[in-house]
């Protein structure tokens, strides 16, 4: 992959990193409850709409530095055998990207998480989350040592019991890390007991605005999140009015401290 679009980190001063999280529903737009039924077949079969929506999504993500993606297809019948994470990385000129297949239905479907990055990761780890099969986490470390910036990309279970087990697992993953971002479709609101406890245990704060993200056509629930360590300052949180899925994307600018800048390679 070309490094021409890699994020250039200055040797001094503060640096803003733009984060975005988006459940893209494999490129399928849903504009009403009725369309879950009338367009449901498109979840399993290819359709030109998905390609068109991916091209529009690529124009959204191009303005960000680190992007977390949920419900991307890794290349199967329903996506016309297109690796959607790789496609978005190419279209938006992200030099670094990776994916994690969580539900492998062979040639029929490849349900995945993914991320795009303009900053070179030092390490990338993928984990299967506890509970019913099909949920995973990607942990990406930028920099090394005490001044490391770590990002966890998640898509949590629908059940409360499953989410509790998964959040406990993630807590263990990030316990030794100082500067952390946790982002994704967490399938529960910020004020749910499981998230309140998770944030308190790990010294995290809700970095996005309080606006709801789901369903995209008439949002009433905030279930898509970006959490950040208390050590990190934030600016310009948004829920973006971009209804090309059944979720809306969330974004925030992170202000990195000077030492953290130095630890992230150009």
In the block, tokens 């399993």 appear at: 44
Q: Mean pLDDT, to the nearest integer, of 194-211?
A: 95
What global pTM score does this model have?
0.92
Q: What is the mean pLDDT of residues 40-67?
A: 90
Per-residue pLDDT, averaged over 15-30, amounts to: 93
Per-residue pLDDT at 266 exceeds 60:
no
- Please count the CA atoms within 13 angstroms of the CA of 70 that sit on its side-chain side: 28
Q: In the predicted model, is pLDDT for residue 74 greater than 70?
A: yes
Render pLDDT for 115-150 as a digit per residue (tens, 0 to 9): 999 999 999 999 999 999 899 999 999 988 777 899
Q: Give me the pLDDT at residue 68, please.
A: 99
Q: For 57-62, which contacts have Cβ atoms below 8 Å and span 24 or more sequence positions?
A: 57/22, 57/24, 57/27, 57/88, 57/244, 58/87, 58/88, 58/91, 58/92, 59/92, 60/20, 60/22, 60/240, 60/242, 60/249, 61/20, 61/22, 61/88, 61/92, 61/94, 61/116, 62/92, 62/93
Instruction: State pLDDT tens for residues 216-261.
Output: 999 999 999 999 999 899 999 999 999 999 999 999 999 987 546 6
Query: How is residue 58 annotated by DSSP?
Result: H
pLDDT score at 108: 87
Query: CATH classification of 16-261, choosing from 3.40.920.10, 1.10.3720.10, 3.60.10.10, 3.30.420.40?
Result: 3.60.10.10
């Amino acid at each position: 992959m070309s490094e021409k679009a890699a994020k250039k980190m200055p040797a001094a001063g503060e640096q803003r990193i733009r984060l975005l999280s988006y459940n893209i529903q494999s490129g399928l737009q849903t504009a009403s409850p009725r369309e879950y039924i009338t367009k449901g077949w498109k979840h399993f079969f290819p359709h030109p709409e998905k390609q068109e929506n991916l091209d529009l999504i690529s124009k959204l993500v191009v303005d960000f530095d680190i992007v977390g993606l949920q419900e991307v297809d890794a290349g199967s019948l329903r996506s016309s055998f297109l690796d959607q994470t790789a496609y978005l990385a190419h279209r938006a000129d992200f030099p670094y990207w990776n994916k994690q297949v969580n539900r492998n239905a062979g040639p029929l479907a490849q349900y995945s998480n993914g991320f795009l990055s303009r900053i070179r990761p030092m390490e990338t780890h993928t984990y299967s989350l506890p509970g019913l099969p099909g949920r995973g986490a990607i942990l990406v470390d930028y920099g090394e040592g005490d001044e490391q910036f770590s990002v966890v990309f998640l898509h949590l279970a629908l059940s409360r019991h499953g989410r509790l087990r998964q959040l406990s697992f993630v807590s263990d993953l990030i316990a030794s890390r100082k500067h952390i971002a946790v982002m994704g479709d967490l399938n529960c609101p910020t004020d749910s007991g499981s998230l309140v406890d998770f944030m308190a245990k790990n010294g995290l704060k809700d970095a996005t605005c309080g606006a709801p993200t789901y369903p995209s056509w008439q949002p009433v629930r905030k279930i898509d999140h970006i959490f950040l360590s208390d050590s990190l300052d934030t600016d310009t949180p948004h829920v973006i009015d971009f209804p090309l899925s059944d979720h809306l994307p969330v974004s925030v600018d992170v202000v990195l401290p000077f030492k953290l800048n130095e630890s992230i390679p150009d």
